[in-house]
Amino acid sequence: MSWSPEALRPLLIPFLCLSLLSGCGYAPVGSNSSILGSGQSTLRLSGIEQPTLLPWVNYSLHSALRDEFRDRNLAVWVDSGPADFLISLRVNEFSMRGAVKSSAETTLLHTGAISLTAVISHGADNSEVWRSRVSYSDTFESDSQEKAGAMLFRQAVRLLANKLRQAF
């Protein structure tokens, strides 16, 4: 096998692109670790503080958080017992309102907004490791406020997970 310039030419552009991207800090998704480590640390929700009287908000936020962290392999989620890290959520602001109704008076569009603060602390001594705040708003096609809220929470938690992966 000979390595002539003609044989190497198709590899030159991809190699240059990858070199430039790696020089500016780009890394493929999943290659960055977070403050939680490589995904093997355990994480437990220590609490959700939220100002609404809606009974489904805590469950929906808990589910969104657990699913996002598990799906991204950020940590091993545990529901009870000791954990390497604890996470707590505080809902600073939350609103959800129906925007469009059908002829049967069923709400079809919901506009929602949320502002969340997440705090991650060590499980052993409860010392704070990371704190971040995100805000998100959008309009959702849904026949129920609860379903629209779940979509809103998933997006807000996704933003939190994105911030957690940023290494500065």
User: What pLDDT tens digit does each residue of the chain (168 aa) get?
Assistant: 566 666 666 766 666 556 555 444 444 544 556 788 888 999 999 999 999 999 999 999 999 999 999 999 999 999 999 999 999 999 999 999 987 776 777 768 999 999 999 999 999 999 999 999 999 999 999 989 999 999 999 999 999 999 998 754
Domain membership flag for residue 129: yes
What is the pLDDT at residue 16? 58
Domain membership flag for residue 90: yes
Structural tokens at position 124 = 């052993």
Domain membership flag for residue 95: yes
Domain membership flag for residue 67: yes
Q: Residue 140 maps to which CATH number?
A: 3.30.160.150
> How is 100-139 classified by DSSP, letter by letter?
EE-TTS-EEEEEEEEEEEEEEEETTT--EEEEEEEEEEEE
Domain membership flag for residue 55: yes
User: How many CA atoms are closer than 13 Å to the CA of 70, on its beta-carbon side?
Assistant: 12
Phi first, then psi, for residue 57 (nearest 5°) are: -65, -50
pTM value is 0.76
Instruction: In whole angstroms, give the CA distance from residue 73 to residue 22.
Output: 23
Number of domains comprising the chain: 1
Range of the domain at 151: 34-165
